[in-house]
């Protein structure tokens, strides 16, 4: 594997706090040196001019759904990898919501082997908490960890039994594995399809109250403290949930939470045209809640921003709003949508990148997510001001259900490297 030197780039590494002009030297798939200044003399290898570009760690997306195995017509590991690379995501956690569900060591092994053979980026399997994702019987945590699972999750589903969840937390703590749990009270969600409030009433749609999220979140945090598990609330969406998490973090360092880029950059008003691509779980909330998410990110209450990439085919999306399936794709727009907050002055670049690099790596125990000597050479080059529009015919995912269709964005990944190898290059870019 040849040596590589990226010169003259603005290096932003949230893990070390470095933000300045420098060069990155890569050898044998790892970072060999980080050199401050505009150029690095005397180093051999291919040279790339990173002038006017940001060099950052590759993004780690903690919530990605694929269709493989079982629903390859929606998304394969290969197509998800193409989309991820184009979006600057060098590693993603694959949720276990497949057919069959990833609830057995052999299936974890299959996913890893399949990903190695077909996917351009690193795939990190999340193993199911319960068999078949049915919320009734706990899986074999030890065997799943041994097979290569990085965490336990029931994906889109939320475990309703407190006793079963306590047992799962206890087992996960014994194996020192994080649990990523979707917080939703099924009885309170009911037939709801969007945020409960005046806007839902005007549209004639059934609402989902904030308590459908905050009640199970409070329960989970108490059970997590009881079991001593590393607990991650998969995604929160309400201001009240921020307050609950803030209080829990004052008592424990083992609890973290994430937010979908959708809930960070969109609100319930986007549902106004009954566009089913905006039907999500959790639903898009009020503008006040969205602002609370931004403040939670700035204050550090929110640890992770993820895409919640959930490919759905036209058959389940081309339905009346109340009958359509939840979910939207997001791997290709994750970074650019997050950069909206940077361009608006709401959040600085380091904070946004930290939530997609350093913090996911720390939660999952990965060596990636940072620019440090000996770390994997997973990095991206970003043009922060590159103007572009999201167009359906340019989407690399097999599904087209993006919440950002037609959106005009500023900021794009021009090159993505995994293990020192280029896996994506923007057409016409010099990197």
Catalytic residue among 97, 303, 308, 378: 308
Cα–Cα distance list, 193 to 107, 202, 203, 204, 324 (Å): 33, 14, 11, 11, 9
Rounded CA separation 179/277 (Å): 28
Residue that the structure tokens 């994997």 belong to: 376
**Judging by DSSP bridges, how do beta strands 18-27 and 30-36 pair with one another?**
antiparallel
Determine whether 308 is an active site residue. Answer: yes
**Would you say 4 and 46 are in contact if contact means Cβ atoms under 8 Å apart?**
yes
Cα–Cα distance list, 156 to 169, 243, 272, 349 (Å): 18, 23, 25, 30
Q: Please return the burial class of 188, using the count of CB atoms within 10 Å of its CB with bins 0-12, 13-18 and 19+.
A: middle
Quick one: residue 42, left, alpha or beta (phi over 0 = left, psi -120 to 50 = alpha)? left
Helix (H) or strand (E) holding 129, with range, is none
Q: Please return the burial class of 308, using the count of CB atoms within 10 Å of its CB with bins 0-12, 13-18 and 19+.
A: buried
**Would you say 154 and 65 are in contact if contact means Cβ atoms under 8 Å apart?**
no
Q: Active-site residue numbers?
A: 308
């Amino acid at each position: 594997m040849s040596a590589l030197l990226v010169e003259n780039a603005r290096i932003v590494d949230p893990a070390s706090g470095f933000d300045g002009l420098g060069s990155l030297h890569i050898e044998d798939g790892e970072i060999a040196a980080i050199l401050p200044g505009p150029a690095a003399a005397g180093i051999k290898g291919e040279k790339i001019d990173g002038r006017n570009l940001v060099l950052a760690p590759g993004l780690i997306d903690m919530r990605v759904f694929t269709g493989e195995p079982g629903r390859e017509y929606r998304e394969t590991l290969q197509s998800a990898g193409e989309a991820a690379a184009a979006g600057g995501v060098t590693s993603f956690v694959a949720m276990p919501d497949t057919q069959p569900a990833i609830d057995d060591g052999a299936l974890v092994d299959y996913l890893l082997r399949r990903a190695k053979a077909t996917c351009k980026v690193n795939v990190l399997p999340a193993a199911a908490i319960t068999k078949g994702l049915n919320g009734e019987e706990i899986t074999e945590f030890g065997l799943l960890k041994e097979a290569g699972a990085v965490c336990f999750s029931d994906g889109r589903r939320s475990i309703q039994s407190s006793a079963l969840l306590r047992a799962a937390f206890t087992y996960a703590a014994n194996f020192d594995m994080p649990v990523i749990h979707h917080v939703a009270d099924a009885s309170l969600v009911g037939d709801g399809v969007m945020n409960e409030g005046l806007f839902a009433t005007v549209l004639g749609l059934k609402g989902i109250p904030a308590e459908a999220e905050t009640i199970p979140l409070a329960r989970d945090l108490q059970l997590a403290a009881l079991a001593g598990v590393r607990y991650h609330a998969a995604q929160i969406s309400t201001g009240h949930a921020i307050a609950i998490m803030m209080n829990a973090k004052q008592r424990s360092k083992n609890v973290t939470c994430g937010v979908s880029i959708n809930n960070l950059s969109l609100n319930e008003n986007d549902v106004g045209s009954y566009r089913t691509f905006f039907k999500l779980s959790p639903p898009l909330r009020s503008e006040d809640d969205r602002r609370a998410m931004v403040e939670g990110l700035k204050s550090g209450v929110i640890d992770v921003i993820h895409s919640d990439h959930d490919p759905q085919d036209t058959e389940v999306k081309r339905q009346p709003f109340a009958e359509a399936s939840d979910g939207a794709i997001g791997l290709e727009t994750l970074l650019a949508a997050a950069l909206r907050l940077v361009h608006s002055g709401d959040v600085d670049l380091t904070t946004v990148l930290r939530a997609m690099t350093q913090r996911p790596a720390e939660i999952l125990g990965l060596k990636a997510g940072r620019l440090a000597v000996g770390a994997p050479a997973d990095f991206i080059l970003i043009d922060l001001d590159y103007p572009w529009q999201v167009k359906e015919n340019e989407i690399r995912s097999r599904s087209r259900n993006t919440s950002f269709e037609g959106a005009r964005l500023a900021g794009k990944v021009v090159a993505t490297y995994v293990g020192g190898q280029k896996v994506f290059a923007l057409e016409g870019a010099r990197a």
